[in-house]
Amino acid sequence: MEASELWVGFVGAGRMAGGLVRGLLQAGKVPASNVLASAPSDKNLDAWRQELGCRTTHCNLEVVHRSTLVFLATKPHILPGVLEEIRPAVGSHHIVVSLVAGVTIQTLQRLLPPRTKVLRIMPNLPCVVQAGAMVFSRGSNVGDEEAALLKSLLSSCGLCEEVPESYIDIHTGLSGSGVAYVYLFAEALAEGAVKMGMPGALASRIAAQTLLGAAKMLLETGEHPAKLRGDVCTPGGTTIYALHQLEKGALRATVMDAVEAATNRACDMAKD
């Protein structure tokens, strides 16, 4: 499908949805005139109109009527009411994509008309700077064509992989929440440098670039993290002394526990 032929709607216009549409527009995947977003107030919609050039409305039904690809980007507790509202307007030509945390494909299919094409995606915050990590899963009525279309669109916002739905909660613990673990580590790196006498702003920039460079090496070399970590260490050098301190602080086990805790919480939210 040509970009000019694709009409994209967003029910909900928060930061994550804005990051996704910004990536679509910058990559030329769809023109701004083909994007329509709805929200209860103009608080978020102003940026969609003024900065992105998209069309906006306060009517969720208008989004469904005017779009083929519909992203659901509301808060979880609001979604059931939204689905009840738009259900009469959803047809066989629609592709419905949910960004809503904790709401399963089974629930979406139950609340929408039979045979609705439903997919579920889980982005993370760096999608707003087109450096995200996303996974998506498809419902029983979605074919390869629709899945390929979604992957092509989302790849403009970062890494995008199709996975079994059971992986989505794990992705939440690994990457959705994981960016906060990285921010905490970056903060600690910088504060360590400040303690040793470096100005805070400079330390923060260097910490961020250190994380960016390390991540780029992981992706581009394909090497296991342990291999790259070993390459930095020299016998009796500074790095092995520092790693010893991190091991004494149980950094590895603590991070694994954090991923487990966030994953379990995501599973619990799906049951609520």
Binding-site annotation: residue ranges for NADPH: 60
Q: Strands of 95-98's sheet, edge to edge?
A: 55-57, 35-38, 8-11, 69-72, 95-98, 117-122, 132-138, 158-162
Cβ count within 10 A of residue 123: 26
Query: Rounded CA gap, 218 and 12, in Å?
Result: 35
Residues at the annotated binding site for NADP(+)? Answer: 73-76
Is 137 exposed, middle or buried, given 0-12, 13-18 or 19+ CB atoms closer than 10 A?
buried
Query: Rounded CA gap, 118 and 109, in Å?
Result: 7
If you search the block for the tokens 């994953």, which residue do you land on? 263
Residues at the annotated binding site? Answer: 60, 73-76
Cβ count within 10 A of residue 148: 11
